[in-house]
């Protein structure tokens, strides 16, 4: 009987989902967004400035690392009972924003700071 009570209590406790912490969920979401935008910028930089296979390989390694960070944070969202994204994670949505940022950086335009501020990137659904 005592064993049954322990098993029942353990089952009840494991089925109780912990309420998500809004600060944790927001932090995870910001990290995912930041990495998606960094990948977009990295890909645009590579299209324009990579001169050879070694540069491309290094750039793809950086992209792969950022994708790993995104995957880890999506998993953490799930484990923390946060709302997991329902939309695809697609860096190409920010391709135009990344191109404007990179172009402004190359031409040293005064608006480079505002164009490269990730918070202002809106993206475009493709």
Domain ranges (residues) in the chain = 20-120
Element holding 86 (H helix, E strand): none
Cα separation values, 27 from 19, 32, 102, Å? 16, 9, 26
Q: For the whole prediction, is pTM greater than 0.95?
A: no
pLDDT number for residue 47? 84
Band (42; pLDDT cuts 50, 70, 90): very high
Which residues, 6 or more positions from 63, have their beta carbon under 8 angstroms from its beta carbon?
Answer: 39, 42, 43
User: Which residue in 117, 40, 122, 33 sits closest to 77, CA to CA?
Assistant: 33
Three-state SS for 19? Answer: coil
């Amino acid at each position: 009987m005592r064993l049954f009570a322990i098993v029942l209590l353990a089952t009840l406790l494991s089925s109780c989902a912990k309420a998500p912490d809004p600060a944790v969920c927001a932090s995870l979401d910001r990290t995912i967004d930041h990495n998606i935008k960094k990948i977009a910028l990295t890909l645009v930089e590579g299209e324009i400035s990579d001169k050879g296979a070694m540069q491309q390989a290094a750039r793809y390694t950086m992209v792969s690392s950022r994708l790993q960070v995104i995957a880890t944070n999506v998993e953490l969202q799930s484990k923390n009972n946060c709302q997991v994204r329902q939309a695809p994670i697609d860096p190409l949505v920010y391709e135009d924003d990344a191109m404007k940022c990179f172009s402004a950086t190359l031409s040293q335009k005064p608006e480079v700071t505002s164009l490269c501020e990730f918070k202002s990137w809106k993206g475009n659904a493709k």
